[in-house]
Amino acid sequence: MKKLWNKGESIDALFERFTIGKDPELDVILAPYDVIGSKAHAQMLAKVGLLSASESAQLCEQLDLIYASCQKGEFLIEPGVEDCHSQIEMLLIEQLGDVGKKIHSGRSRNDQVITALKLFTKDQLLEVVDKVQVLFELWLDKSELNSKKLMPGYTHMQVAMPSSFGLWFGAYAEALVDDLSMLRAALDITDQNPLGSAAGYGSSFELDRGYTTELMDFSSLNVNSIYAQMSRGKMEKAVAYAVASLAGTLSKYSMDVCTYNGQDYGFFTLDKQYTTGSSIMPHKLNPDGFELVRAKCNKLQSLPVEMTLILNNLTTGYHRDLQVLKESFIPAMQTIQDCLEVTIAMTKGLEVTDDLLEDSKYDLLFTVERVNELVMQGKPFRDAYQIVGKELLEGIYEASRDIKHSHLGSIGNLGTEQIRQSFEKVLSTMK
């Protein structure tokens, strides 16, 4: 019998395929985490007297073997088996007979799947954080390295005021501080043990939920069994918001690089190994990597909405709808990491163009400096503004290239140490 719940009745093949959905593929990823949860459950059952020490040890030994098969990439969900929870229990029954049949006392696949999802997500978030840290350091290094290299600052896509590559790279580093705060909040929400809530209404057995919390290294537990069930979806949504925030940073950065790399701007040269060519135009060095990061990260920003719409009209308690969350949530955790990794690699090879602002097309960048010069000579700001406005209308405005050096006073102040301290402060509460 391939279904834990099947009592002998036949199941329509189309219906079976439809309800199992993508679980055989996605649950292979969750399986090692289900093993960790199942081991904690078996150990706890022995502690509260529902299993003998030897029964619990036999279960743990088999679960270790299943874990090893997951690590080797050999764990499979057999055709017709619904999910990893069913597959693992069936393997235990195959190997241990009645002892295998005892592990499900006091639990349900509903709390099993949330437990596995939370353990998986904790690991994923910590890996995301490691990569965010690498990108943060890289952006800060680039910021310092390019602190004196000037670039145009834009508003409305029109040249506005002088800026620097140091300021621009530093802005993205500081954006990661806020993204990290969101990831930290997501981690706090994820790091709570739902196991023992069973189908959502607990168990009449005296389960020791504190013990499984300790065994699985969760910081705390979801106390109320109905809330523990409700945390499925709420956790994914919190993580989706954090991932979307980070994705927003990466997609904006990619759009900047793609724009500034084009010949009309010419601010960056890309490392050739991170460009692609054209089948017809021999000169092409296209920024496809940044374009794909942009598209993937734009898509990731729809994740909170997708999670919200799936969850929107569900009453308390388990619904099969929740299974569908996994279809976009699990792959998204990999996508954001791929985007971080490729952004790091491509950013290392980004070369900044020197002396950009010498070009006369950037004369207008210095109008505010001209106003400020008059202010320094004693003119009220509003009068100075009018004077420069007139100079521009009459065509007698002259951009002083010297001004930019005094201007470096403000745009040269990168606040690198302050930004680093803010980042480390958030990080220290996560690791």
Q: Element (H or E) spanning 163, and its range?
A: strand 158-164
Burial zone of 309 (CB within 10 Å; 0-12 exposed, 13-18 middle, 19+ buried): exposed
Write the binding mask 173 to 212 for ligand ARG: x where contact by CB under 6 A, - elsewhere. ----------------------------------------
> Shortest Cβ distance from residue 312 to ligand ARG (Å)?
17
83 touching ligand ARG, by CB under 6 A: yes
Among 322, 339, 342, 365, binds ligand ARG (CB under 6 A): 322
249 touching ligand ARG, by CB under 6 A: no
Residue 413, number of CB atoms within 10 A of its CB: 12
Instruction: Kindly indicate which of the ranges 187-195, 242-250, 272-280, 318-326 contains the residues binding ligand ARG, using the contact rule CB under 6 A.
Output: 318-326
CA dihedral 216, 326, 4, 201 (to 10 degrees): 60
113 touching ligand ARG, by CB under 6 A: yes
> Shortest Cβ distance from residue 117 to ligand ARG (Å)?
8
Please check whether residue 207 is in contact with residue 106, taking contact to mean a CB–CB distance below 8 angstroms. Answer: yes
> Shortest Cβ distance from residue 109 to ligand ARG (Å)?
4
Please check whether residue 209 is in contact with residue 193, taking contact to mean a CB–CB distance below 8 angstroms. Answer: yes
Among 110, 197, 231, 347, binds ligand ARG (CB under 6 A): 110
Residue 325 has which token pair?
A: 């969350």
Nearer to ligand ARG, 109 or 142 (CB): 109
Among 323, 328, 335, 367, binds ligand ARG (CB under 6 A): 323
Burial track 320-343 (b if 16+ CB lie within 10 A, e otherwise): eebbbbbbbbbebbebbbebbebb
- CA proximity to 218, closest of 194, 198, 246, 248: 194
Among 41, 107, 109, 296, binds ligand ARG (CB under 6 A): 109
How many positions of this chain bind ligand ARG (CB under 6 A)? Answer: 10
Nearer to ligand ARG, 131 or 237 (CB): 237
Nearer to ligand ARG, 290 or 318 (CB): 318
Nearer to ligand ARG, 327 or 391 (CB): 327
> Shortest Cβ distance from residue 261 to ligand ARG (Å)?
43
Vertex 236: Cα angle to 234 and 241 (nearest 5)? 95
Euclidean distance between the first and the last CA atom of the chain, given in angstroms as a whole number = 44
> Shortest Cβ distance from residue 26 to ligand ARG (Å)?
8
Per the document, the length of the chain is 431
Instruction: Kindly indicate which of the ranges 106-114, 138-146, 217-225, 252-260 contains the residues binding ligand ARG, using the contact rule CB under 6 A.
Output: 106-114
- Between CA 201 and CA 204 the distance in angstroms is 9
Residue 427 has which token pair?
A: 């990080």
Nearer to ligand ARG, 105 or 416 (CB): 105
Question: Which 5-34 positions form the footprint of ligand ARG (CB under 6 A)?
Answer: 23
- Between CA 205 and CA 345 the distance in angstroms is 53
318 touching ligand ARG, by CB under 6 A: yes
> Shortest Cβ distance from residue 15 to ligand ARG (Å)?
14
Nearer to ligand ARG, 31 or 293 (CB): 31
88 touching ligand ARG, by CB under 6 A: no
245 touching ligand ARG, by CB under 6 A: no
Residue 233 has which token pair?
A: 């979806």
**Beta carbons within 8 Å of 204's beta carbon, 6+ residues apart:** none
404 touching ligand ARG, by CB under 6 A: no
Nearer to ligand ARG, 229 or 367 (CB): 229
- Between CA 60 and CA 368 the distance in angstroms is 72
Strand pairing category for 150-155 and 158-164: antiparallel
> Shortest Cβ distance from residue 293 to ligand ARG (Å)?
30
User: What DSSP letter does each residue of 94-111 carry, written as one string?
Assistant: HHHTHHHHTTTTT--HHH
> Shortest Cβ distance from residue 320 to ligand ARG (Å)?
6
Residue 431, number of CB atoms within 10 A of its CB: 8
Instruction: Kindly indicate which of the ranges 43-51, 245-253, 314-322, 328-336 contains the residues binding ligand ARG, using the contact rule CB under 6 A.
Output: 314-322
> What are the residues binding ligand ARG (CB under 6 A)?
23, 83, 109-110, 113, 318, 320, 322-323, 326
